[in-house]
Amino acid sequence: MEQHIHIHIHNDDQHQIILKLNSIMGTLKDIQDQNTALIAAVAEEDTVIDSAVTLINGFATTLQAIKDQLAAAIASNDPVAMGAVADSLSNTITDVTARKDALAAAVSANTPSA
């Protein structure tokens, strides 16, 4: 006994398949766009984090330089050099405060509320 199976696709079926494929392709495009936006957002966040790390490392370097300057001024018992260290500390405190405030404002502005 021989059996034959015949499949016939009606134009209506093809039209429905094409509509579904178009819908899938549209969804896929939306997912790709969202993924591209996410990659850009992560890259931007990484840049901000790297900038904050650089800023913090810069403070450490500046404070070490002031410490070395102070040690030299004390060793030489030079009141002018000690005054320069005091001025340098004052300027650094002002700079650190301004940058801390700017960083805190940026973090606060870009942190989603709970």
Distances (CA, A) of 4 to 1, 8, 9, 13: 10, 13, 16, 22
pLDDT score, position 9? 61
pTM: 0.48
pLDDT score, position 102? 84
Phi-psi region of 2 (alpha: psi -120 to 50; beta: other; left: phi over 0): beta
pLDDT score, position 8? 63
Q: Tell me, what DSSP letter sits at residue 7?
A: -
Q: Tens-of-pLDDT digits for all 114 residues of the chain?
A: 777 777 666 666 777 888 888 888 888 898 999 988 888 888 877 887 888 788 888 888 888 888 888 888 889 998 898 888 888 888 888 888 888 888 888 878 877 776
